[in-house]
Amino acid sequence: MKKIEAIIRPAKLDDIKEALGKFGIHGMTVTEVIGCGLQKGKKEVYRGTEYTIDLLPKIKIEIIIKDKWVDEVVRIIINTARTGEIGDGKIFVYPVENAVRIRTGEGGEEAI
Amino acid sequence: MKILNLTPKAAPYLLAILLLTAVLPGNAWAAGEPTADTGDTTFIIFSAALVLLMTPGLALFYGGMVRKKNVLGTTMQSVIAIVLISLQWIIIGYTLAFGPDKAGLIGGLEWLGLKDVGLTPNPDYAATIPAQVFMVFQMMFAILTPALISGAIAERMRFPAYVAFVLLWATLVYDPVAHWVWGVDGWIRTLGALDFAGGTVVHILSGVSALVACLVLGKRKNRPTEPTLPHNIPMVVMGAALLWFGWFGFNAGSALGANGIAAAAFVTTNTAAAAAALSWLAAEWMHHGKPTVLGLVSGAVAGLVAITPAAGFVTPMAAIIIGIISGVLCYFMIAVVKGKLGYDDSLDAFGMHSVGGTWGAIATGLFATTTVNPAGADGLFYGDPSLLFKQLIAVVATYAFAALATFIILKAVGLVFKLRVSPEEEEAGLDITQHGEDAYRDFAVSGSVVRSERVVVHTPVIEAKTIN
């Protein structure tokens, strides 16, 4: 099992969710996050004073999948989330040792 | 049946209060005294209620502009003024401001505890409304004024010191200056300077005191990477809306009757607010490329401040000019000059109220005309330069007195109370450190009841927050 963690533009969440759904992935954890990277901060003005806000809002999606689907899922996320501009985000892939469904107690790939 | 559960200690005090009430003269209706007009009385009672609403409005206006860890502390600094000054005004404030004159400087103590302030009109101030209605209308101004100062010291003053400051400032600064300007035989009133609804007494006085207070307290200690941005601009808009609405009571009500002058003041008030909102927005748009909502409502307040002394003395067209200049002037002071001088007037109490108020006092000397209000005077543009000179004397005297007195009061309060929160408390915010409350509990709470007999205290857990 692998965990795919994708940091994406907030506006892309619905598209990715839909594309993953078509592929057959219906479970995910979504978190609102802030962070910084290559993308420049945004400018805000309050009573005539300009501020640069360095930490920008992003969405973090976490999905646990079988090993064999990793390449395909990564490709779907890239195709859906990419605009070509700086700030499109990143994808990380981690190994997962086990998964347990709390309701039934079943473990492993059956639980994801 | 035992109704009051009094401790033996409290009983003598209660008895003393009851006796005192009985000894004070009643409000007898004597023949030949002026009688109240029902229309005027109705209008001023409602105007007083409108002006009261400005202080909670200010709490929202200021509260939205601070960081969310300080929203309750900032709200408290406004609304506590309602509580404190409602009592102070009844007991001593009203007599100091409007009581029988002492040397043009202050009212005597003859009306202590509202003695002789009855239900018949006092023709010296308002011949057609009960004296108590005039008193309570004026009370609302006395409440708002110290609350305005809190904008300059937001996010760093300790609550006990603030309470002491407000009580002393109201008694030693507001009450005397209200007497100078509005009291019978007050020296500025005798001089002939005009202040329709409190441009000098309310706005210049609070604005200058605010500047002194923020200098005495010093800057907020935030890191350069943590700018102090407004946490809730819709809240600021709601507060500004209540201020604008309440200001109709403030300015139109200052006609002290349901009459043509009230109508004139209502129209100029609304006009100047709109003109200043537009001019601030335009200045900001040209300067930074975006018209902001905070800018629009700030401009409206700048216009309302500037028209306050002029409201019942100028034409609607003059109100447009007063508003346009106020919006640009306050914007320039706040966006450019404040940054260059480097004082930390957190929410621009000086930049709005002192700058706008000073321009309004000068504008009254320029645009006042007896064609609008025969009881007023003609300004420079209507052929009489002397009014402008009198306005300037009133402004300079108010600046000097406000600065000196506020400095002394803060130093005196500082001897008894610590003025500033500690750096750790400032970091944690006023809400938790001064009031033990958290305004927005947006994460799960894990805690337990520490003491349940009388007060329930939940201990908040510091949560790791990703975004908000």
- Render pLDDT for A63-86 as a digit per residue (tens, 0 to 9): 999 999 999 999 999 999 999 999
- Point out which residues pair with B421 in neighbouring strands: none
Phi, psi of B424 (to 5 degrees): -65, -40
Tell if the CB–CB gap between A48 and B348 is shorter than 8 Å: no
- Asked if pLDDT for residue B20 goes beyond 90, the answer is no
Q: Which residues contact B86 (CB under 8 A, 6 or more apart)?
A: B139, B143
Query: What's the whole-number mean pLDDT along residues B373-385?
Result: 95
Tell if the CB–CB gap between B331 and A54 is shorter than 8 Å: no
Q: Give the count of alpha carbons within 13 A of B431, CB side only.
A: 15
User: What are the angstrom distances between the C-alpha of B389 and each of A53, A77, B295, B385, B399?
Assistant: 48, 73, 33, 7, 15
Nearest to A50 among B225, B288, B348 (CB): B288
3-state secondary structure of A13: helix
Tell me chain B's radius of gyration from C-alpha atoms: 23
Q: Would you call A11 an interface residue with chain B, using a CB distance cutoff of 8 Å? A: no
- Render pLDDT for B303-355 as a digit per residue (tens, 0 to 9): 999 999 999 999 999 999 999 999 999 999 999 999 899 899 999 999 999 99
Q: Token digits for B95?
A: 């007599």
Residue-wise over A60-92: b if at least 16 C-beta within 10 A, else e?
bbebbbeeebeeebeebbeebbeeeeeebbeee
pLDDT of the residue at B34: 80
Cα A110 to Cα B235: distance, rounded to the nearest angstrom: 49
Q: For residues B155 and B455, which has the higher predicted lDDT (pLDDT)?
A: B155
B30 band by pLDDT with thresholds 50, 70 and 90: very low
Query: What's the whole-number mean pLDDT along residues B86-113?
Result: 97
pTM for the full predicted model: 0.86
Angle at B42 between CA B41 and CA B46, to 5 degrees: 115
- Asked if pLDDT for residue B86 goes beyond 70, the answer is yes
CA B385 to chain centre: 30
Nearest to A49 among B298, B339, B467 (CB): B339
Q: Would you call B342 an interface residue with chain A, using a CB distance cutoff of 8 Å? A: no
Cα B222 to Cα B64: distance, rounded to the nearest angstrom: 18
Tell if the CB–CB gap between A45 and B284 is shorter than 8 Å: yes
Tell if the CB–CB gap between B295 and A31 is shorter than 8 Å: no
A111 band by pLDDT with thresholds 50, 70 and 90: confident
Q: How far is A21 from chain B (nearest CA, A)?
A: 27
Q: Token digits for B37?
A: 């007009």
The ipTM value here is 0.75
Type of residue at A44: E
pLDDT of the residue at B16: 62
- Render pLDDT for B415-458 as a digit per residue (tens, 0 to 9): 999 999 999 999 999 999 999 999 998 766 677 777 766 554 55
Q: Would you call A95 an interface residue with chain B, using a CB distance cutoff of 8 Å? A: no
- Asked if pLDDT for residue B464 goes beyond 60, the answer is no
Q: Would you call B228 an interface residue with chain A, using a CB distance cutoff of 8 Å? A: no
- Asked if pLDDT for residue B465 goes beyond 60, the answer is no
pLDDT of the residue at B468: 40
Report the percentage of chain B scoring pLDDT > 90. Answer: 84
